[in-house]
């Protein structure tokens, strides 16, 4: 009668809040756990009370505002800055007009970034002392498509 839930593959995110394709939200949103946006959001997205949160912008999603989170998965359009503590993933159809900052990035061929990319808290090994140290590196990225 009742089926057991299938275990999720390792690394697969689940999202507890969804902004549907036909939804339009104006104003700041605080996120407790996870949020997927397939509609439009005009306002900043940030974690509630420093909870770790994941935010995904689907292919039809548009965010006009800054995103603060632990992990960001972008397949739509973001007009604003993205600040992720851990990871930013940009799919081949992602468009970002703003700066992005995270420890790690996965950027697919075809993604468009118009802004600065900052990799923070990256651990690198000092060749002379063979010790790990944190670094911050920055690069300006502009992608032009014909």
What residues have CB less than 8 Å from 56, skipping those under 6 apart?
13, 15, 34, 35, 36, 37, 72, 73, 74, 75
Task: Determine the pLDDT at residue 57.
Answer: 96
Q: What DSSP character marks residue 49?
A: G
Domain boundary assignment for the chain: 17-140
- Per the CB < 8 A criterion, the answer to whether 60 and 76 are in contact is yes
Lowest model confidence (mean pLDDT) among 8-17, 36-45, 55-64, 111-120 = 8-17
What mean pLDDT comes out for the span 71-98?
96
- Its pTM stands at 0.77
- Per the CB < 8 A criterion, the answer to whether 63 and 83 are in contact is no
CA distance 66 to 95: 14
What mean pLDDT comes out for the span 99-119?
94
CA distance 81 to 1: 47
Task: Determine the pLDDT at residue 45.
Answer: 94
Q: What DSSP character marks residue 144?
A: -
| High-pLDDT (> 70) share of the chain, % | 73
pLDDT tens-place string over residues 2-49: 555 444 444 446 777 889 999 999 999 998 889 999 999 999 999 987
């Amino acid at each position: 009668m009742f089926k057991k839930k299938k275990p999720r593959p390792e690394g697969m995110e689940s999202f507890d809040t969804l902004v549907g394709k036909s939804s339009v939200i104006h104003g700041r949103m605080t996120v407790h756990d996870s949020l997927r946006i397939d509609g439009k959001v005009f306002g900043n997205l940030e974690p509630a009370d420093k909870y770790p949160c994941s935010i995904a912008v689907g292919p039809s999603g548009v965010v006009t505002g800054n995103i603060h989170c632990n992990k960001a998965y972008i397949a739509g359009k973001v007009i604003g800055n993205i600040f992720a503590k851990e990871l930013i993933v940009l799919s081949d159809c992602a468009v970002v007009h703003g700066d992005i900052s995270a420890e790690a990035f996965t950027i697919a061929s075809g993604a468009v970034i118009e802004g600065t990319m900052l990799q923070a808290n990256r651990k690198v090994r000092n060749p002379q002392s063979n010790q790990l140290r944190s670094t911050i590196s920055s690069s300006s990225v502009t992608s032009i498509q014909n």
